[in-house]
């Protein structure tokens, strides 16, 4: 199935000059979601994954499904003050400022094999911050997994020595 036809382009969102990749049509179609999930896990058959991280908020949609398929735990990584237990945080730069992500301090045990999932790899700042959190807690990053990569933004450059997989590349 061509899942790209289920991704809608919205110009000038959330601000002028940005072309937003809207995945809600994909989420609204059960067959397209199933096909996308199969693609997201297609290269993980020989990799043992203990935990799957989903990055707020669009990384949650497929992150939980990936974790279920891999028989792995799911870990939400969220914006500040959204998680109820003790957390550690990492900050990252955006084109218009900075932001912070948090993870529970007990989410990853030393040696856990972790898959990081988000919807889009853009500039790489978010993924880099999540990698820092995983490594600070002693986890081993097996792969950074994305539905889409916006290759023209060079996000891979912020993730040296990390295995990266994206279903679609723009």
Domain holding 119: CATH number?
3.40.50.2020
Cα distance between residue 93 and residue 90, in whole Å: 10
- Does residue 14 lie in a domain region? no
CA distance 65 to 44: 14
23 within domain boundaries = no
Note the pTM of the prediction, 2 decimals. Answer: 0.95
**Residue 124 within any structural domain of the chain:** yes
pLDDT digits (tens, 9 = 90+) for 45-90: 899 999 999 999 999 999 999 999 999 999 999 999 999 999 999 9
Is 64 inside any structural domain?
Answer: yes
Q: Choose among 83, 106, 79: nearest CA to 91.
A: 79
Catalytic residue among 4, 31, 93, 95: 95
- Domain membership of residue 37 (yes or no) is no
Range of the domain at 152: 44-169
Asked if residue 39 has a cis previous peptide bond (ω within 30° of 0), the answer is: no
Domain annotation covers residue 2: no
Q: Is 5 domain-assigned?
A: no
**How far apart are alpha carbons 91 and 31 in whole angstroms?**
37
Query: Percentage of the chain surpassing pLDDT 70?
Result: 99
58 among known catalytic residues: yes
Total number of domains in the chain: 1
Does 27 reside within a domain?
no
Q: Of 58, 78, 102, 149, which one is the catalytic site residue?
A: 58
What length does the chain have?
170
Does the annotation mark 93 as catalytic? Answer: no
**How much is the pLDDT for 71?**
97
């Amino acid at each position: 199935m061509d899942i790209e036809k289920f991704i809608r382009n919205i110009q000038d969102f959330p601000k002028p000059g940005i072309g937003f990749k809207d995945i809600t049509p994909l989420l609204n179609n059960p067959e397209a979601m199933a096909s996308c999930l199969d693609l997201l896990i297609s290269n993980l058959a020989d990799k043992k994954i203990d935990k799957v991280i989903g990055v707020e908020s669009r990384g949650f949609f497929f992150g939980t499904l990936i974790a279920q398929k891999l028989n792995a735990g799911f870990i939400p990584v969220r914006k500040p003050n959204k998680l109820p237990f003790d957390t550690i945080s990492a900050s990252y730069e955006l084109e218009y400022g900075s932001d912070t992500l948090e993870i529970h301090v007990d989410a990853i045990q030393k040696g856990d094999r972790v898959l990081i999932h988000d919807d889009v790899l853009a500039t790489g700042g978010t993924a880099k911050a999540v990698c820092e959190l995983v490594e600070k807690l002693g986890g081993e990053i097996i792969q950074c997994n994305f539905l889409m990569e916006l290759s023209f933004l060079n996000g891979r450059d912020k993730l040296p020595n990390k295995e990266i997989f994206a279903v679609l590349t723009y």
